[in-house]
Chain A
Amino acid sequence: MSPSLTPYSSFPFLPPIRVKPSLASLRQQLLPCLQPQIYAIAKTSGFYRMAAANGSSDLYSEMEVDAFRRLFPLRYHEQHLLKSVRPDARKLGSARDTTLALGAVASAEGSALAKIGSTTMLAAIKMEIMTPTVECPDEGSIAIEFHMPPICSPLVRPGRPAEAASVISKQLSDTILSSGMIDLKELCLVGGKAAWMAYLDIYCLDADGSLFDAALLSAVAAFSHLNIPVVSLNEDGRIVLVSEDNNQLKLEKQPVNTEKRKLKLNSPPFSLTCLLHKNYILADPTAEEESIMETAVTVVLDSSYQLVSLYKPGGPVHAHTSVIQDCVALAKRRVKELQSVLNEAISDMEVE
């Protein structure tokens, strides 16, 4: 059998797997240890005949790794973990490439598109004027909704909303409201009369693992991009939006909020999800990894490294103190990364 490899793209019926070139050498190392098992699988599962019919030995050896990945996903991943690397050539503790674009939705007052690997989140904020509640007359409010449309994953069917979506919604609003990132008093316009209601909607466009991390990043970015519209009092004592066109006509009307056009964000929270499997800790898992190894720990830290949330919903692996401290250390490193990603996105926006 030849250990040489052909690119995945030569198989039209297999989904393309994006690999970095350095992985080819890794496969070469891995193949000898996988070879006997794969050979057995290939013979029994008919892949052998298929490959023989194609008459290409290169094709055959390439097929093997992919067949092995699909038939024994857990063992496939464990073989990688033994070599301290993951199938997408990442180290165990490193997260995927993260990009952030502010102002992705022109019609919203604040918006952002966040990508962690191929997990994509689009967040947009719509501001509306409301009468504040009697209990908190000088505070605005924030409503956060997380949506998982069927486009994001094969597991989501149209019609019924996904179970995970409402749970992530709840976690997001808990995290954002309890972190104290936004002072709700800043959203007040006229005490007891009018305040801002911020509707934050986050759409998951591509669900490839670590949904909460990406959703939180896009939410924080959307708030940092938020431009509060100018409003003024009209004759009836009501608050109305000052639109761009009749700005000139209503110049005699004093706008209510000449300052306070930007929200001040106090130490925004960032999160990192880690998977626990045996003694390994895998940061920022993909959907494939999440489906194979079930124990996830999500650590949310704010910019001064205070713990906003540590969320571990069950799972077969129990987290001991040392593991929790390792996860927190990984999260601290990730907060630094995400902060610089956010700052870069903001400065890019200002240049434009």
Chain B
Amino acid sequence: MEIDRKDGRTANQLRPLSCARNVLNRAHGSASWSQGETKVLAAVYGPKAGTNKNENPEKACFEVIWKPKTGQIGKAEKEYEMILKKTVQSICVLNVHPNTTTSIIIQVVNDDGALLPCAINALCAALVDAGIPLKHLAVAICCCLTESGHILLDPSKLEEQRMKAFVYLVFPNSTLSVLPEEALKVRGEPMEHGLITSSTHGVMSVDDYIRCLERGRAATSKLSDFFRRNLQ
């Protein structure tokens, strides 16, 4: 069944993506990422010597600073910072630069829905640009669940507010490897099907969540192709 979306997209259609790297002169790595009207700028500084208090000096440490479009940061932004920090820690190789801190600054340019996924994608592009050693990329997507149980991908702000529930999902990107495919599988599933980060808003059934996961995975494979083309 077809669902009407304001901008005439189909349920599975993402907004036009664009990614530019090395947009800032002084930053060690930077990228801007936009999905439709949502646009985020990410800058990476470091690795700098020393770690913050309460961090493990045997590993590389990250700090994420979230700058909203206007005003002070509140609790929502603090939560975003925490999610971004933990996501970055899970994709980076932490043993290469022990006892260092890498600062990541996220500047929101415009928010039109799916802000956190957009920031994660921008962040990944900036990390690649800065040459921080990564295990793999993280690809983020937002899935929305309508009252009637349909799933829409990459919602705009208006859609996000109207929906029953929405889910932010982050998956690893698909790998190109010389190893046989079977060797890369974890519990019979390909590596890129493993969920790195999940954050949900609103009440839904468990089955709906699993359906969102499947849709999200399918969409992130397209996103990771876009990443690969863009980074080459």
In the assembled complex, the CB of A124 is this many whole angstroms from the nearest CB of chain B, namely: 20
Contact A163 B78 (CB under 8 A): yes
Question: Contacts A170-B78, A311-B198: A318 and B191 contacting too (C-beta < 8 A)?
Answer: yes
A201 and B203 alpha carbons, distance in the complex (Å): 24
Contact B205 A311 (CB under 8 A): no
The yes or no answer to B172 lying at the interface (CB within 8 A) is yes
The yes or no answer to B210 lying at the interface (CB within 8 A) is yes
Contact B201 A178 (CB under 8 A): yes
Partner of B195, one of A163, A174, A180, A320: A320
Contact B195 A178 (CB under 8 A): no
Question: Contacts A307-B209, A321-B210: A313 and B87 contacting too (C-beta < 8 A)?
Answer: yes
Interface of chain A residues 302 through 336 with chain B (CB within 8 A):
302, 305-325, 328
The yes or no answer to A155 lying at the interface (CB within 8 A) is yes
The yes or no answer to A141 lying at the interface (CB within 8 A) is no
In the assembled complex, the CB of B92 is this many whole angstroms from the nearest CB of chain A, namely: 10
In the assembled complex, the CB of B149 is this many whole angstroms from the nearest CB of chain A, namely: 13
Contact A318 B86 (CB under 8 A): no
A310 and B198 alpha carbons, distance in the complex (Å): 7
Interface of chain B residues 185 through 213 with chain A (CB within 8 A):
186-187, 189, 191, 193-206, 208-210, 213
A309 and B204 alpha carbons, distance in the complex (Å): 9
- Majority SS of interface residues in chain A? mixed
Q: Which residue of A lies closest to B75 (CB)?
A: A170
The yes or no answer to A6 lying at the interface (CB within 8 A) is no
Which residue among A179, A180, A316, A320 has the maximum number of chain B CB atoms within 10 Å of its CB? Answer: A320
Q: Which residues of B contact A324 (CB under 8 A)?
A: 195, 209-210, 213
In the assembled complex, the CB of A211 is this many whole angstroms from the nearest CB of chain B, namely: 13
Partner of B206, one of A170, A179, A297, A328: A328
A170 and B170 alpha carbons, distance in the complex (Å): 20
Partner of A312, one of B75, B79, B172, B197: B197
Q: Which residues of A contact B172 (CB under 8 A)?
A: 318
A77 and B104 alpha carbons, distance in the complex (Å): 33
Q: Which residues of B contact A178 (CB under 8 A)?
A: 201-203
The yes or no answer to B103 lying at the interface (CB within 8 A) is no
The yes or no answer to B20 lying at the interface (CB within 8 A) is no
A308 and B200 alpha carbons, distance in the complex (Å): 8
The yes or no answer to B107 lying at the interface (CB within 8 A) is no
A136 and B82 alpha carbons, distance in the complex (Å): 32
Q: Which residue of A lies closest to B189 (CB)?
A: A320
Q: Which residues of A contact B82 (CB under 8 A)?
A: 163-164, 167, 313
- 9 further A-B pairs in the complex, CB-CB below 8 A; given A310-B209, A313-B86, A320-B189: A166-B78, A167-B79, A170-B76, A174-B201, A297-B198, A309-B200, A309-B201, A310-B200, A323-B187
B contacts, CB < 8 Å to A: 54, 75-76, 78-79, 82-83, 85-90, 167, 170, 172, 186-187, 189, 191, 193-206, 208-210, 213
> What 5 pairs across the A-B complex have the smallest Cβ distances?
A318-B194, A314-B86, A170-B75, A314-B87, A314-B90
A contacts, CB < 8 Å to B: 155, 163-164, 166-167, 169-171, 174, 178-180, 279, 294-295, 297, 302, 305-325, 328
A-B contact list, 26 entries, CB within 8 Å:
A167-B78, A170-B75, A171-B79, A178-B202, A180-B203, A302-B203, A306-B204, A306-B205, A307-B204, A307-B206, A309-B199, A312-B196, A312-B199, A313-B82, A313-B197, A314-B88, A314-B90, A314-B197, A317-B194, A318-B194, A320-B194, A320-B195, A321-B193, A321-B213, A322-B187, A328-B206
